[in-house]
Amino acid sequence: MKSYKELPNDAGSNIIGQVTAQADRIQKRLASVKYTVAIMSGKGGVGKSSLTANLATALTLNGNAVGVVDADINGPTLAKMMGVRNATLEYTPAGVKPAMTALGTKLISMDLLLAEDDAPVLWNAYSQKDAFTWRTTMEVGALREFIADTEWGNLDYLLLDLPPGTDRLPNVTELIPNLSGIVVVTIPSEVSQLIVKKSVTMARDILGVPIIGVVENMAFYVCQHCGEKEPLFSADETLDKTLQQLMLGSIPFDPQLSRANDNGTLYLGEHPDAPASKALRQVAEKIQGFFKRSITS
């Protein structure tokens, strides 16, 4: 397959110029962002978006300026989880002003552009069957615009919540070649870890992106009667040794966290002493520590 620059004739569309201009806009926009961090799993159903929302809250509570890109174009959920679904985006000559949570965390999401709750994301094409052929290209284009056209201002952290799939990270590194690092999310399930290890290999060995660490989500639950930790999945399932070496923390399952996500309220603020809240705050502190060590080393 030829690259854009190898095409002998672009039929007057100036596609090379358009892509180059957008790449330049991304670099200029991210010049005021200290760290860009992708949150990924490779597999769906591990609570990655919930983790992203709550890590953004934890980093904000720690005094950081934080922005979040809901990079799941077709299945956006962060606007609801972060309580800004009713926000109206404002368009200015400087760019689109992102939605802002009660704490001041900034968010851009496709959900903020959809008119109805049941409205799917549709791409312009002769037919939706034709659109499927170009879907990945159009998704990358939408993500490029989200990053380049949003007026982020000065940020300490910009988190990107990636959709499931080991192929998603290469698309992001194409847009952000100097991605600061990734956080990989798994659950204590062999099926999940099988896919997650592929994501780690893709990031570390093929793309050369720094791995901040692995978060084990829904690792256990705390019995409300006796206070003991109980496995949420099979008691025989333990985290793979390769992933254990990269561990940032284990987040227990908490129904209150799920309810907070559904209600768009701040779990960390409502339940600061809950085991999951403490674990989330510790993971956020370790992410900050990762970059502090990078600066001093």
Amino acid at 44: G
| pLDDT tens column, 150-170 | 999 999 999 999 988 777 888
Q: In which band, very low, low, confident or very high, does the pLDDT at 9 lie, cut at 50, 70 and 90? A: low
**pLDDT confidence of residue 2:** 45
pLDDT number for residue 37: 97
Helix (H) / strand (E) containing 192: helix 190-201
Q: Report the C-alpha gap between 277 and 61 in whole angstroms.
A: 12
- Residue 255 has a pLDDT of 92
**From CA 237, how far away is CA 188, in angstroms rounded?**
6
Q: Which amino acid is at 131?
A: A
Q: Residue 104 in contact with residue 61, Cβ under 8 Å?
A: no
Question: How many residues are given for the chain?
Answer: 297
pLDDT score of 223 more than 80: no
The band of 225, judged by pLDDT with boundaries at 50, 70 and 90, is confident
67: pLDDT strictly greater than 60: yes
Tally DSSP H helices, then E strands, for the chain: 11, 12
Average pLDDT, the chain: 84
Q: What is the pLDDT of residue 157?
A: 98
Residues whose CB falls within 8 Å of the CB of residue 19, separated by 6 or more in sequence, listed in order = 4
- The pTM score is 0.86
Is the domain 32-296 a CATH 3.30.950.10 member?
no
What are the angstrom distances between the C-alpha of 175 and each of 10, 22, 70, 90? 21, 9, 15, 24
Domain boundaries of the chain, sorted by first residue: 32-296
| DSSP-assigned beta bridge partners for residue 150 | 96
- Give backbone dihedrals phi and psi of 117, rounded to 5 degrees, phi first: -60, -35
H or E stretch including 82?
A: none
- At residue 237, the pLDDT reads 57
Contact partners, residue 60, CB within 8 Å, separation at least 6: 66, 101, 103, 104, 105
How high is the pLDDT of residue 94? 86
Of the two residues 116 and 30, the one the predictor is more confident about is: 30
Least confident of 76-85, 93-102, 155-164, 232-241: 232-241
131 contacts 124 by C-beta, under 8 angstroms: yes
> What whole-number distance in Å separates Cα of residue 25 and Cα of residue 198?
32
Mean pLDDT of 254-265: 94
Q: What are 10-60's pLDDT values in tens digits?
A: 555 555 666 677 778 888 889 999 999 999 987 788 999 999 999 999 999
What pLDDT was estimated at residue 224?
Answer: 73
